[in-house]
Amino acid sequence: MGDLNHKTKLGQPALYRILDANLDRAREGIRTIEEWFRFGLDNSEMAAECKNLRQQLAQWHSNELRMSRDTTTDVGTQLSHPSEENRESLEQVIQVNFCRVEEALRVLEEYGKVYHPNMGAAVKQMRYRVYTLESNLLAYGRHQKLQRANLYLVTSPSERLMSVVEAALQGGLKVVQYRDKDTDDHQRWKNARQLCQLCHRYNALFLVNDRVDIAIAVNADGVHLGQQDLPIAVAKQLLGPQKIVGKSTTNPEEMKLAIAEGADYIGVGPVYATPTKPDKQAAGLEYVRHATRHASVPWFAIGGINMNNFDDVLMAGATRVAVVRSLMQAEQPTLVTQYFLSQFTRVQTLRDRQIVPENTPADFS
């Protein structure tokens, strides 16, 4: 292995050069991530955590380490992979930089143990803080997407499953739930995995109906639970806190309980009687109006909603809607998606112009 105090050409121990290079690498990576939190997400809390991490790293970056730097003799400066030259998206920039920081911190943790008795433990703490930051960012991103989503597709078994979902995604759909009560688990897992990849390619959320195990197996963004399914707390414990858990509600009491239980969003319905859920009685537009006034988490009106009655649901105050048949049975799911989305925009514009508060049912007739 060689002498740990092996001197480089400049007479500095190799250890110093390793620490110097990785302190720089970690700080640069954190700075890149910090800029996104600050200017991309306007999230001062996460930006402050990055700044604090950089400052802690700076305290380890002593002059003796800095003095060991000699980029002219560093054989690593010539080594570059073509993938380092290209970044496909901002998300990739952030992801790559998290990897870079985590790698650099791991190197600092290991070599730091030789340099100073406290360095290994101090860097280990920082490495865990970076993992937490990354996980919080993922959760934040998911919740942002949920907040922005107006239209939610709940799937039904279909030979055209993938093509319908993809067509809707092409129309701008941003949330999909895989719902399949009849298929065997192996096929369910295969469908869920394929749908999850498809949704993520379109930057859309993917959730699984009822089945926390399948959601975990395919790394879905979350699950949708009904009144007879697992409690939300149990699902969150299994999925981790960064995933989304939605819950169905049919009346004001269920709504209150679901929100108190920690639902990230709720289903509000059935607005109209529907053959997709034949055993549930319609809760009606009255329940939509109740949600408009009282729901404190994102909520999706669901049940029997189609292009003909959609406007009534919007006028009752809904700003988010979930559908099964309207998209799964559509001949042109892209166009239907675009129609629904355009109506949300139209109504939002009317609300903005007439300065009608968000949580008041409207009458624009």
Ligand X SMILES: Cc1ncc(COP(=O)(O)OP(=O)(O)O)c(N)n1
Ligand Y SMILES: Cc1nc(C(=O)O)sc1CCOP(=O)(O)O
- The site string for ligand X over 310-349 (x = CB under 6 A, - otherwise) reads ------------x---------------------------
Of these, 17, 179, 243, 320, which contacts ligand X (CB under 6 A)? 179
Enumerate residues 88-147 that contact ligand Y by CB under 6 A. Answer: none
Window contacting ligand Y (CB under 6 A); options: 11-19, 107-115, 187-195, 302-310: 302-310
Q: Decide if residue 213 touches ligand X (CB under 6 A).
A: no
Cα–Cα distance for residue pair 337/172, rounded to 1 Å? 7
Of these, 100, 127, 277, 351, which contacts ligand Y (CB under 6 A)? 277
Cα–Cα distance for residue pair 52/57, rounded to 1 Å? 9
- The site string for ligand Y over 305-344 (x = CB under 6 A, - otherwise) reads x-----------------xxxx------------------
Residue nearest to ligand X (CB): 226
Of 26 and 266, nearer to ligand Y (C-beta) is: 266
Shortest Cβ 142–Mg ion spacing (Å): 20
- CB contact burial 32-68 (16+ within 10 A = b; e otherwise): bbbebbbeeeeeeebbebbbebbeebeebeeeebeeb
Of these, 248, 274, 326, 334, which contacts ligand X (CB under 6 A)? 248
Tokens linked to 130 = 């970076």
Q: Decide if residue 248 touches ligand Y (CB under 6 A).
A: yes
Shortest Cβ 153–ligand Y spacing (Å): 9
Torsion angle of C-alpha atoms 16, 19, 25, 27, degrees rounded to 10? -110
The label of the residue with tokens 């925009």 reads 345
Shortest Cβ 334–ligand Y spacing (Å): 18
Whether residue 113 contacts residue 20, with contact meaning beta carbons closer than 8 Å, is answered with: no
Torsion angle of C-alpha atoms 226, 210, 244, 164, degrees rounded to 10? -110
Cα–Cα distance for residue pair 308/271, rounded to 1 Å? 14
DSSP 305-354: --TTTHHHHHHTT-S-EEESHHHHT-S-HHHHHHHHHHHHHHHHHHHHHH
Tokens linked to 96 = 């790559």
Q: Decide if residue 302 touches ligand X (CB under 6 A).
A: yes
How many residues interact with ligand X (rule CB under 6 A)? 16
Of 97 and 326, nearer to ligand Y (C-beta) is: 326
Helix (H) or strand (E) holding 141: helix 119-148
Shortest Cβ 318–Mg ion spacing (Å): 21
Whether residue 305 contacts residue 340, with contact meaning beta carbons closer than 8 Å, is answered with: no
Q: Decide if residue 17 touches ligand X (CB under 6 A).
A: no
Of these, 13, 222, 270, 298, which contacts ligand Y (CB under 6 A)? 270
Task: Return the number of other C-beta atoms located less than 10 Å from residue 138's C-beta.
Answer: 14
Positions in the binding site for ligand X (CB under 6 A): 152, 154, 177, 179, 209-210, 224, 226, 229, 246, 248, 267, 277, 300, 302, 322
Residues that bind ligand Y (CB under 6 A): 154, 248, 267, 269-270, 274, 276-277, 280, 302-305, 323-326
